[in-house]
C-alpha cells in the first residue's frame, strides 16, 4: 500500500486512544503529538468545532416516519457530498444524505496526522483473496484495503493530494463511448469546485487548494536535483504541458487544515439550507424497486445499528458509497451478475457486470538510506506551537508526501503521458515518529530487525512506485445475501506480466537516480532488502521483490463501469444512470471505465460535479 494508505491495512498496533481519540496509533511519538494537539485545540483553538459538520437529522426525526425526499444520496463521502451540496442549492428540492459513519475525528483535520485516522472506527478495512503473485508480504498474501467511513468518506482520511489526470485519460473515456467525458468536457468541472465566487450560503467554490507546511526540504531538494541530472524538470502543477517531472504538489486544505468535500459542500452550508438534511450512522442495506424494477421507490437503512427505517424517494437516488460499498449495495438489491446473485437466492432485477473491472494503481515501495549526522529524537515543541498559532510547520505537512514524480518509461514518442508516479515518505533517523509506518513492511521478525536497525543508522526514504495504467483487472463479489457479511474481493494485482514489467521500469529509473552525482555525494543508497525467498535467484530478485511488496495505493475504481448503452461491460450510461433503472445514478470513483493517471480524489470530485449537473438539467423546471 502506498503512503496514502500504508499504515491502515498493515499495522497491528493495538488501539490505545482515549474516548475522544478513537484511532489506532502509528507509533508512540505520533500518538503523543496527536494527544498534544488534541488537548491544546480542545480548549483554545477549537480546530474542529461541531460547526464544521451538518446537524444530524436523526436528532430532528421524532418518529419512524422519514417522509419523502426529492433526492436521496447514499454516502456523504467525496463525491456524494458534492452532489448533495449542489442539488440543495435549489431550495425547492428536498435533499437527504444517508451516511454510514459520523463526523470525522479531530486528527483528520491535521495533515501530518492523516495516517492516524486510518485503521480506526472511521474506516472500512478489507482483505483481498490472494492470487499468489502479489501482496506476498501481507499475511496469507491477502492484500489489505481501506476506505473512509465518516462524513467526507475517503476524502476525510486521505493525504489530500490534488491531481486531475491527463487529457489522455478523459479522451480515452469518451473514445470508448462515454459521450460528454472528453478532456474538454470535464475540465470546467474540476475548476468549478474551487471557483472563488458566490457567498456564504451559496459559495461557488466550496473547496480550497493550498500549500502543505514545510517538512524534509533537504530530502525534496535531493530528489529534485537527482531527477534534474536525469533530465527531468520541476513542475508546478500536473496539467497539460506539465505532465512529466517532479513537483511539490498542493493539497485540498486551508490554513493548514483539511477541507474535505463534506466540510465544504455540507458543513459550511447546511445551516443556511432547510432543504438539506444529513443523517449520520445511517447504513443503507437495500434499494427497494417498483414492480417493473425500473424505479427505486424506497431506501431501507439501519440507523445507529439498531433501528431499520425506510425513506421514500420522489425524484432520484444517487449512489455514492464508493468503489467497494456501491457495488455491494447494488448486488444486495438484485442488480448484478446473475451467476453471482442466483446461487445466493437474490432475485435478479438487472443482470449487469457489477463488481467487475476493478482497478487500482498497484504500488511497490523502494527504500533509500541516507546518512544523517544530526538525528532528532523528540518532537519540536516550537513547531507544534507554530502549527497551533499559525497553522504552519510540519504538522501542516504530510511529511515529504507532497513530493511526487511523474515519469515516462516507455519510448513511444506519440504518447506524452507518464506511466509511473513516484511518491515519497521519509522516516528520520532515530525518530520513532514514522516507525509505525515502517512496521507495515515488517513481514517477519528478521525484516523487522532489519528496518529497526536501518532507521537507527540513517534517514529512510520510502519511494512508492505506482503503476499508472495497470492492465490487470480484479473484481468484487457478494459472499452472501446478508449486508453484514464481508465481500469476496479479488484485487488480482500483477496477474498480467506487463504490470510487473511496468514496475520494473520504475525500479530501473530509481537505480539510475541512485547513481547520480548528487545521490552519490550524499551517500544515498537504494537498499536491496534481504527477503529470504528472493535472495536465491539474483537475476530474478526484483520481480520477486515486486510480488512480495506489491500492494494497493488505495485508488480503487471501476466496479460500476460507465460506458455506451451498447457496451455490455458497462453498468451505467454516460449520464451515470444504472442501465434499466430510470431514477438511480451512481456518482463515485466506481464509475471510472479506466483509472486516471494520478491519485483519484480530484477526478472523483469532478464526477460529483458532473453528476449534479446532469441531475439539475434533467429536473430543472419540472
Ligand X SMILES: Cc1cc2nc3c(=O)[nH]c(=O)nc-3n(C[C@H](O)[C@H](O)[C@H](O)COP(=O)(O)OP(=O)(O)OC[C@H]3O[C@@H](n4cnc5c(N)ncnc54)[C@H](O)[C@@H]3O)c2cc1C
Chain positions contacting ligand X, by CB under 6 A: 4-5, 8, 74-80, 98-101, 118, 146-149, 153-155, 157-161, 163, 283-284, 320-323, 325, 329, 554-555, 588-589, 599-602, 604
* Rounded-to-integer distance, Cα 253 and Cα 457, Å: 34
Residue 153 or 502: the one with the smaller Cβ distance to ligand X is: 153
Q: 381: how many CB neighbours lie within 10 A of its CB?
A: 9
* Rounded-to-integer distance, Cα 128 and Cα 144, Å: 6
Query: At its nearest, how many Å lie between ligand X and the CB of residue 45?
Result: 25
Query: At its nearest, how many Å lie between ligand X and the CB of residue 410?
Result: 24
* Rounded-to-integer distance, Cα 375 and Cα 86, Å: 49
Strand-pair category, 95-98 with 68-74: parallel
Residue 287 or 435: the one with the smaller Cβ distance to ligand X is: 287
Query: At its nearest, how many Å lie between ligand X and the CB of residue 497?
Result: 27
Contacts of 163 (CB under 8 A, 6+ apart): 238, 249, 596, 598, 599, 601, 602, 603
Query: At its nearest, how many Å lie between ligand X and the CB of residue 33?
Result: 19
3 state SS of 560: coil
Residue 137 or 551: the one with the smaller Cβ distance to ligand X is: 551
Greatest pairwise CA separation for the chain in angstroms: 73
Nearest Cα neighbor of 609 from 326, 270, 194, 278 is 194
Pair 318, 522: CB distance under 8 Å: no
Binding site annotation covers 284? yes
* Rounded-to-integer distance, Cα 422 and Cα 365, Å: 9
> Burial letters for 53-85: b for 16+ Cβ neighbours within 10 Å, e otherwise?
bbebbbeebeeeebeebbbbbbbbbbbbbbbbb
Beta bridge partners of 72: 96, 317
Query: At its nearest, how many Å lie between ligand X and the CB of residue 146?
Result: 5
Query: At its nearest, how many Å lie between ligand X and the CB of residue 468?
Result: 13
Query: At its nearest, how many Å lie between ligand X and the CB of residue 406?
Result: 13
Residue 341 or 363: the one with the smaller Cβ distance to ligand X is: 363
Beta bridge partners of 73: 97, 318
Query: At its nearest, how many Å lie between ligand X and the CB of residue 590?
Result: 6
- In the complex, residue closest to ligand X by CB: 77
Q: 538: how many CB neighbours lie within 10 A of its CB?
A: 8
Rama region for 549: left / alpha / beta (φ>0; ψ in -120 to 50; rest): alpha
Torsions phi, psi for 270 (to 5 deg)? -60, -35
Question: From the annotation, which residues make up the binding site?
Answer: 284
Q: Could you list the residues known to form a binding site for FAD, using ranges.
A: 284
Amino acid at each position: 500500500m502506498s503512503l496514502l494508505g500504508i499504515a491502515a491495512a498493515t499495522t497491528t498496533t493495538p488501539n490505545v486512544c482515549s474516548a475522544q481519540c478513537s484511532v489506532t496509533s502509528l507509533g508512540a511519538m505520533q500518538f503523543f503529538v496527536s494527544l498534544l494537539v488534541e488537548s491544546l485545540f480542545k480548549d483554545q483553538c477549537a480546530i474542529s468545532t461541531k460547526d464544521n459538520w451538518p446537524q444530524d437529522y436523526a436528532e430532528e426525526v421524532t418518529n419512524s416516519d422519514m417522509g419523502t425526499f426529492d433526492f436521496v444520496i447514499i454516502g456523504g463521502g467525496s463525491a456524494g457530498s458534492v452532489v448533495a451540496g449542489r442539488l440543495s442549492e435549489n431550495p425547492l428540492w428536498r435533499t437527504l444524505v444517508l451516511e454510514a459513519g459520523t463526523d470525522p475525528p479531530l486528527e483528520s483535520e491535521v495533515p501530518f496526522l492523516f495516517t492516524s485516522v486510518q485503521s480506526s472506527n472511521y474506516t472500512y478495512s478489507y482483505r483481498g483473496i490472494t492470487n499468489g503473485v502479489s501482496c506476498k508480504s501481507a499475511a496469507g498474501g491477502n492484500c489489505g484495503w481501506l476506505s473512509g467511513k465518516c462524513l467526507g468518506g475517503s476524502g476525510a482520511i486521505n493525504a489530500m493530494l490534488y491531481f486531475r489526470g491527463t487529457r489522455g485519460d478523459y479522451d480515452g473515456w469518451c473514445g470508448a463511448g462515454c459521450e460528454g467525458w472528453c478532456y474538454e468536457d470535464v475540465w470546467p468541472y474540476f475548476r468549478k469546485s474551487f471557483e472563488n465566487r458566490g457567498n456564504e450560503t451559496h459559495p461557488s467554490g466550496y473547496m480550497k487548494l493550498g500549500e502543505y507546511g514545510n517538512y524534509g526540504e533537504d530530502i525534496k531538494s535531493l530528489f529534485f536535483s537527482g531527477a534534474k541530472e536525469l533530465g527531468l524538470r520541476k513542475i508546478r502543477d500536473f496539467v497539460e504541458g506539465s505532465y512529466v517531472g517532479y513537483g511539490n504538489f498542493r493539497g485540498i486544505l486551508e490554513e493548514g487544515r483539511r477541507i474535505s468535500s463534506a466540510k465544504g459542500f455540507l458543513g459550511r452550508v447546511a445551516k443556511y439550507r432547510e432543504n438539506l438534511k444529513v443523517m449520520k450512522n445511517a447504513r443503507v442495506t437495500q434499494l427497494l424497486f417498483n414492480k417493473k424494477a425500473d424505479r427505486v421507490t424506497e431506501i431501507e437503512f439501519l440507523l445507529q445499528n439498531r433501528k431499520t427505517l425506510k425513506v421514500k424517494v420522489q425524484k432520484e437516488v444517487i449512489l455514492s458509497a464508493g468503489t467497494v460499498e456501491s457495488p455491494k449495495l447494488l448486488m444486495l438489491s438484485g442488480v448484478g451478475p446473475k451467476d453471482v446473485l442466483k446461487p445466493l437466492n437474490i432475485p435478479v432485477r438487472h443482470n449487469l457486470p457489477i463488481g467487475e473491472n476493478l482497478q487500482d494503481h498497484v504500488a511497490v515501495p523502494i527504500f533509500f538510506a541516507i546518512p544523517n549526522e544530526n538525528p532528532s529524537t523528540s518532537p519540536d515543541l516550537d513547531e507544534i506551537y507554530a502549527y497551533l498559532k499559525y497553522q504552519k510547520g510540519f504538522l501542516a505537512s504530510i511529511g515529504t508526501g507532497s513530493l511526487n514524480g511523474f515519469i515516462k518509461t516507455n519510448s513511444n514518442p506519440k504518447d506524452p503521458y507518464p506511466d509511473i508516479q513516484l511518491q515519497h515518505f521519509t522516516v528520520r533517523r532515530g525518530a520513532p515518529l514514522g516507525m509505525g509506518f515502517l512496521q507495515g513492511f515488517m513481514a517477519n521478525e528478521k525484516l523487522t530487525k532489519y528496518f529497526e536497525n536501518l532507521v537507527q543508522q540513517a534517514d529512510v526514504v520510502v519511494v512508492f512506485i505506482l503503476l499508472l495504467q495497470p492492465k490487470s483487472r480484479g473484481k468484487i463479489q457478494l459472499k452472501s445475501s446478508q449486508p453484514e457479511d464481508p465481500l469476496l474481493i479479488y484485487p488480482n494485482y500483477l496477474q498480467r506480466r506487463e504490470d510487473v514489467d511496468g514496475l520494473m521500469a520504475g525500479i530501473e529509473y530509481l537505480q539510475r537516480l541512485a547513481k547520480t552525482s548528487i545521490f552519490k555525494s550524499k551517500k544515498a543508497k537504494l537498499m536491496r532488502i534481504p527477503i529470504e525467498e528472493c535472495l536465491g535467484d539474483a537475476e530474478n530478485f526484483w520481480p520477486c521483490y515486486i510480488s512480495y511488496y506489491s500492494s494497493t495505493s488505495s485508488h480503487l475504481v471501476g466496479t460500476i463501469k460507465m460506458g455506451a448503452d451498447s457496451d455490455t461491460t458497462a453498468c451505467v450510461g454516460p449520464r451515470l444512470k444504472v442501465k434499466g433503472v430510470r431514477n438511480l445514478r451512481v456518482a463515485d470513483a466506481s464509475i471510472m471505465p479506466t483509472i486516471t493517471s494520478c491519485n483519484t480524489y480530484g477526478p472523483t470530485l469532478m464526477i460529483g460535479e458532473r453528476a449534479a449537473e446532469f441531475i439539475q438539467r434533467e429536473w430543472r423546471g419540472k
